[in-house]
Amino acid sequence: MADPRLEILERRLANVRKIIAVSSGKGGVGKSVTSVVLALALRDRRFKVGLLDLDFTSPSTHVILGVRDLQPIEDYGIIPPVAGGLSYMSIVFYAFDNPAPLRGLDVSNSLIELMAITRWGELDYLIIDMPPGLGDATLDVIRLVKNISFLIVTTPSILAFETVKKLVNLLNSLKTPILGVVENMVMDDKGRIRGEVDKLGVRYLGEIAYDAGLEASMGSVEKLKGTRFYVSLERILKGLL
């Protein structure tokens, strides 16, 4: 029997023009910061933007944005609150600071439920902060969300890029569009990652230098916009639009 939530999910996203999943395959590379800053940079270009945190086990976009005392509104579904000028949705509104140790079918059910109840309305962009890894959540998003494109984040670490290669191969095998790869936390430019990305036949979007002041901006949108990270990603964004 077909899951009725899937039809509802499709309707919820019907008026979203573009959906970008920010993924890495591996944690600790700056994926969530990239998701938030990308959403803010698009907002600053006068686009209507939503941000969905699908990292159920360790959500962090609310910390980066400084989300406090906000709750979704229930009205024939859930209307996301506005944080930093973004329509924002996350599991933290329901799990708070408690862990959400989901496995297998529970992951799929939670993902479908969250996406089916959320009323995004009309958006130019919906940015999805994906969980790390190549598991059920990634496969479900690819299966359920039409017209989605992936932006991949890596670091100069060869370990991080090994996982990126697996992610690229997975997306290619499923014929899922890849916008390109962003290299984060670059401390010297040896061009190694750029060369590896070229070998994969994927677009190298640019590098973001290691920003020692980024940590101090967590929780403040205005401070975040003043970082070198924001300036670098905003420059990369110009090549995507």
Give the tens place of pLDDT for each residue, 154-177. Answer: 999 988 899 999 999 999 999 999
pTM for this model (two decimals) = 0.94
Q: Which residues contact 84 (CB under 8 A, 6 or more apart)?
A: 36, 40, 43, 65, 66, 221
Calculate what percentage of the chain has a pLDDT beyond 90. 69
Residue 81 gets which letter from DSSP? P
Query: Mind giving me the DSSP string for 119-188?
Result: ---SEEEEEEEPPSSSSHHHHHHHHH-TTEEEEEEE-S-HHHHHHHHHHHHHHHHTT--EEEEEEEEESS
103 backbone dihedrals φ, ψ, rounded to 5°: -135, 150
Q: Does residue 13 have a pLDDT over 80? A: yes
Compute the distance between CA of residue 73 and CA of residue 36 in angstroms, rounded to an integer: 22
Give the tens place of pLDDT for each residue, 102-116. Answer: 556 777 888 889 999
